[in-house]
């Protein structure tokens, strides 16, 4: 790096450096790293473009640039990311929330709004990780009570930080254990209005082909879903009838190749199944219910959904 570095010069240099090394979203990454080191909001970088950066800050930035170019995800380096327009803390113990998962949250909130008259909505978020799904739902649909479970105590510690950060301690309860195992039906809750999950769903063959920044850095337990990627779905679906209200809905994120497979698993249990595509036109969220959901999305249960 040259000796006089302004914010503008640093961003331009990092964008070129990251582009040459095939780092995703080079400008965003450059701005996030710099705003982290300078303890400024991203917008403030633009307001101080000609500010000269002190040597100690440059040294800190250099270390982060080096690690980023070695494909360490920037969210782990700075300890946070953005999800559903909220800041979410992350650590290497949990998956970094993905923008694709926002579709599940959006559909969940839409569904809950159709049931407002039904009082406080009871929700279960299985495989909560950083807690991003539970936190986003509770923040946007306050009349709810969420039980969020995860098998990893370390991931739950991150979820706990996020729940406190967004003042949702009264809305979300964290339980450690295997899927529904820590949920005692009748003691913790009556049945749920909504069961949501983004479980591990990467198959053995896909796992080998994951990008280096995912495979080498994110927890395997958060990604790997068994030989065909469906292990956790099978187990969730087998237990759902015990925990879901008769008019409740199950919503799960799925991998882009899993639409047909998940449909086959759900057909014996649910009358209505809809697979939603994300903005890249890939299958991404499955929604299943045994009742029509009145006043829900106009394109849901309108005949385009499968009925068995």
Residues of this chain that interact with ligand SAM (CB under 6 A) are: 94-95, 97, 101, 127-130, 132-133, 149-152, 155, 178-179, 198-200, 221-222
Residue placing its CB nearer to ligand SAM in the complex, 136 or 266: 136
Whichever of 65 and 127 has its CB closer to ligand SAM, that residue is: 127
Q: Which of 184, 189, 292 is nearest to 246 (CA)?
A: 292
Written as one string, the DSSP assignment of 225-259 is: --TTS-HHHHHHHHHHHHHEEEEEEEEEE--TT-H
Nearer to ligand SAM, 56 or 208 (CB): 208
Which one, 24 or 44, has the nearer CB to ligand SAM? Answer: 24
Count of C-beta atoms within a 10 Å radius of residue 100: 16
d(CA 113, CA 120): 11
The minimum distance between CB 252 and ligand SAM, in angstroms, equals 11
- Report in angstroms how near the CB of residue 13 gets to ligand SAM at its nearest: 32
Closer of 180 and 301 to ligand SAM (Cβ): 180
Considering the complex, what minimum distance in angstroms separates the CB of residue 285 from ligand SAM?
12
Strands of the 283-289 sheet, one edge to the other: 172-176, 144-150, 121-126, 192-197, 244-253, 283-289, 272-277, 306-307
Minimum CB separation of residue 188 from ligand SAM in Å reads 15
If DSSP codes are grouped into helix, strand and coil, which group holds residue 41? coil
Which residue number has the CB closest to ligand SAM? 129
Comparing C-alpha atoms, which of 79, 95, 166 is closest to residue 128?
A: 95
Give least dist CB 138 to ligand SAM, A: 14
């Amino acid at each position: 790096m040259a000796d006089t570095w302004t914010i503008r010069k640093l961003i331009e240099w990092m964008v070129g450096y990251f582009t040459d090394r095939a780092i995703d979203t080079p400008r965003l990454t450059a701005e996030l790293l710099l705003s982290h080191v300078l303890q400024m909001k991203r917008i403030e970088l633009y307001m101080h473009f000609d500010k000269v950066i002190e040597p100690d800050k440059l040294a800190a930035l250099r270390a982060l640039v080096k690690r980023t170019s070695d494909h360490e995800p920037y969210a782990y380096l700075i300890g946070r990311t953005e999800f559903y327009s909220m800041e979410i803390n992350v650590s290497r113990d949990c998956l970094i929330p993905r923008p694709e998962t926002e579709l599940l949250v959006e559909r969940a909130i839409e569904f809950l709004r159709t049931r407002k008259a039904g009082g406080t909505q009871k929700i279960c978020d299985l495989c909560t990780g950083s807690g991003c799904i539970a936190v986003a739902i509770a923040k946007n649909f306050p009349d709810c009570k969420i039980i969020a479970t995860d098998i990893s105590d370390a991931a739950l510690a991150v979820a706990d930080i996020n729940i406190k950060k967004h003042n949702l301690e009264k809305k979300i309860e964290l339980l450690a254990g295997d899927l529904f195992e820590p949920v005692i039906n009748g003691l913790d809750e009556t049945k749920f209005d909504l069961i949501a999950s983004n479980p591990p769903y990467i198959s053995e063959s896909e796992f080998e082909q994951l990008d280096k920044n995912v495979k080498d850095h994110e927890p395997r337990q958060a990604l790997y879903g068994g030989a065909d990627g469906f292990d956790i779905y099978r187990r969730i679906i087998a237990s759902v009838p015990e925990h879901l209200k008769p008019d409740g809905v199950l919503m799960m994120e799925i991998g882009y190749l899993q639409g047909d497979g998940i449909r086959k698993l759900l057909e014996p249990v649910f009358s209505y199944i809809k697979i939603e595509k994300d903005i890249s036109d890939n299958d991404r969220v499955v929604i299943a219910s045994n009742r029509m959901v009145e006043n829900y999305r106009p394109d849901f249960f309108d005949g385009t959904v499968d009925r068995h």
